[in-house]
Amino acid sequence: MKKRMIIIVAIVSGLALLGLPVRKHYVVPILMYHRIDKEDSLTSKLAVSPQVFRKQMSFLARNKYNVIALNQLVSLIKAKSRIPQNTVVITFDDGNEDNYSQAYPILKEYNLPATIFIIVDFIGKPGYMNEGQLKELAQSGLIALGSHTMTHPVLTKIDESLLDKEISGSKKALEERTGFSVKLLSYPLGAFNESVRRKVIEAGYKGAVATNPGKNYPNDDIHALKRMRISENAGNLFVFWAETSGYYTFIKEHRDD
């Protein structure tokens, strides 16, 4: 199945390069990482080894991808601006300590911006970044911090009374603890509905990311942008190229049609 998808992506990308009308299927790849850890990468689809992560970032830099910050993408979509192909956005969920110790030095080496979504109540716990590390990242000008809620609940399954704490409360708490404005949110497990989405807008978030709400969901909803999970399998740079082509989301959503 993956080989078939890659072949289709290659064909679609080739047609795009020839100027044929496939642009409407182009979705800016928002890459979703979690752990950057060699040991975890052997057993978890949510982890990528530092070696593979370096290879992927080097690939983006060497091939002159237009790597932009998530808040910049949100602004471009809101303004209905034409976004160049080969544009890529890098994001991380949870705020794991290895994002600071392993991913950040590589991003800094290649001057690639990224957004890291923080579970606020996990700050300073074993395996997660502390306030000092978060402030250093935010001060770098390369890393933006976003909210991944207070406790990482499935927002569609909690009481309405708790939504404000998880959504607006996490924004306020993260701003107070780091001293930097928080404008972006990542839905835990990608789960949201219209009620949750409305709360995110009311809380003042400029944009939000999900995972993949499905092929019938619009690609340009800045409060529920689609992302793709990057795993250790994308250490194969042909796979990574396919995933960053801009057409992988379309193919993935239609592969079972």
Residues 203-245 have pLDDT tens digits of 999 999 999 888 889 999 999 999 999 999 999 998 899 899 8
- For the chain, domains (ranges, CATH) are 27-236 (3.20.20.370)
Q: Residue 124 pLDDT > 90, yes or no?
A: yes
pTM of the model: 0.91
What's residue 253's pLDDT? 73
Q: Residue 1 pLDDT > 60, yes or no?
A: no
d(CA 168, CA 205): 9
- pLDDT digits over 20-60, tens only? 455 667 899 999 999 999 999 889 999 999 999 999 999 99
d(CA 241, CA 107): 18
- pLDDT digits over 149-201, tens only? 999 999 999 998 899 999 999 999 999 999 999 999 999 999 999 999 999 99
Contacts of 12 (CB under 8 A, 6+ apart): 22, 25, 245, 247, 250, 251
**233 alpha-carbon distance from chain centroid:** 17
